[in-house]
Chain A
């Protein structure tokens, strides 16, 4: 991040001022050249890793996220003998080398809110049925580990993580596991892989909208970059399923919102996600 020209110097001194002067000069475009409702170019890479059961890499402009799905075996809890477990971890890039905090010698850069949101979406939209993860009732179940590694954060992590999850799940292959009747231990056949069964009908996808106040009215910036997220008054996340039903709405505080504004944002979200689905199914 070097200050090479006048524009970057202005951004460094006061980001808000830079945006305001840009919007004064150009109507309806953002400093990176997009219109308000336009999203950045999306690149999707499937089967990226060789050690995971399923993986994908997504680029939304400069934001790069890698999703990897692996599984481990576990004993089910006594409360529900047939359900497996799911764990999601979202790791952000580090900007600092190791530093010693007492005896701990590292920086764990996990984005807890995003990890929990993704877990909530998986459960509530029934994207993955916990019963599908059962190998033998009461004895062995799969514990699905979904790891997101963010290589570069340029805004809009929510969208990219969710899209990466969908792409990775589509191409996940699990080894077959049978239980040895004599020793009750699992036998894992790593060469016999079968496609992971999940609820393909629900394809939860997210639309992130940053609300920017300009001249007493709200401008809705879809697919914000990191700078736009920093100057936004508030940020909205809409997660919609394939039948356009709302799975999750998350709004940070800052801008008062009436019901019709929510409806307006819902229509923006619907168009944007339709475009995303077309991209996904190509």
Chain B
């Protein structure tokens, strides 16, 4: 049971890869939001809860075209930090990890990353997620505690990653019954080589933050902003539908037990 000394990615030697092919943009993007995976068992005698991650306070699973992300929220729970910040409001700890099969090239889960590594996409995504969520959580209601947001990226198609992460965190926060000012809905638009992500709070009609990688004129950015806000409102309706139907089924289940 030996292990090889060195492994080579077969894509390095690929002969028939078309990198210059522009992938057809799938305009008909599928969006799938759920707090648990749909249980299709008929006539089972066991009572199964519908949440995806049973040990967490709140969890969710989001699928945006090919990007799949799960989120688990643990909290609010006692914080081990003794900093001054934690006495007046809640600390937010985020952690994002890619599955080994999330991308074309396999990411070795056992390789250790050290502090002074500059190229750390995961920590960059973590800080973006915090920026997007901090305006919407009522942190002053949970002093001396922390909320852990654990995100697992199952699959990444390059475009929707940040918006899927923010959406899954929002739905999981709602599932965990943590008080929010408003839901944060995020939408990513990709044009040529630039990626534009907008985080929007629909009820307050405020933009929580904008992330942009690439080149654009200010007018073009305005257009992108308008387009993204419109699509965010559609996504917001989808989230509301999921939350309300989940609440109805939970109420029905409780009625059955009582």
Q: Which of B4, B52, B70 has the most CB of A within 10 A?
A: B4
| Interface presence of A113 (CB below 8 A) | no
In the complex, A96 Cα to B66 Cα: how many Å? 27
| Stretch with Cβ within 8 A of A (4 or more), from B6-14, B180-188, B218-226 | B6-14
In the complex, A76 Cα to B114 Cα: how many Å? 31
* Contact of A188 with B11 at beta-carbon distance under 8 Å, contacts A89-B110, A105-B113, A149-B154 already known: yes
In the complex, A97 Cα to B72 Cα: how many Å? 11
The B contact surface, by secondary structure, is loop
- B172 → A minimal CB distance (Å): 13
List A contacts of B49 (CB < 8 A): 62
User: Count of chain A residues with Cβ under 8 Å from any Cβ of B?
Assistant: 66
User: Count of chain B residues with Cβ under 8 Å from any Cβ of A?
Assistant: 61
| Interface presence of A238 (CB below 8 A) | no
- B153 → A minimal CB distance (Å): 10
Please determine whether A40 and B46 come into contact, CB atoms closer than 8 angstroms.
yes
| Stretch with Cβ within 8 A of B (4 or more), from A11-19, A64-72, A213-221 | A64-72
* Contact of A91 with B155 at beta-carbon distance under 8 Å, contacts A1-B57, A41-B48, A98-B93 already known: no
List A contacts of B121 (CB < 8 A): none
Please determine whether A61 and B48 come into contact, CB atoms closer than 8 angstroms.
yes
Output the nearest chain B residue to A145 by Cβ-Cβ distance.
B106
List B contacts of A59 (CB < 8 A): 37
For the complex of A and B, list the 5 residue pairs with the smallest distance between their C-beta atoms, beginning with the closest: A41-B41, A74-B4, A68-B101, A97-B93, A97-B95
Chain A residues within 8 Å of B, Cβ to Cβ: 1-2, 5, 32-34, 38, 40-41, 43, 49-52, 55, 59, 61-62, 64, 66, 68, 70-77, 79, 85, 87, 89, 91, 93-98, 100, 103-106, 108, 110, 119, 123, 143, 145, 147, 149, 151-154, 175, 177, 185-191
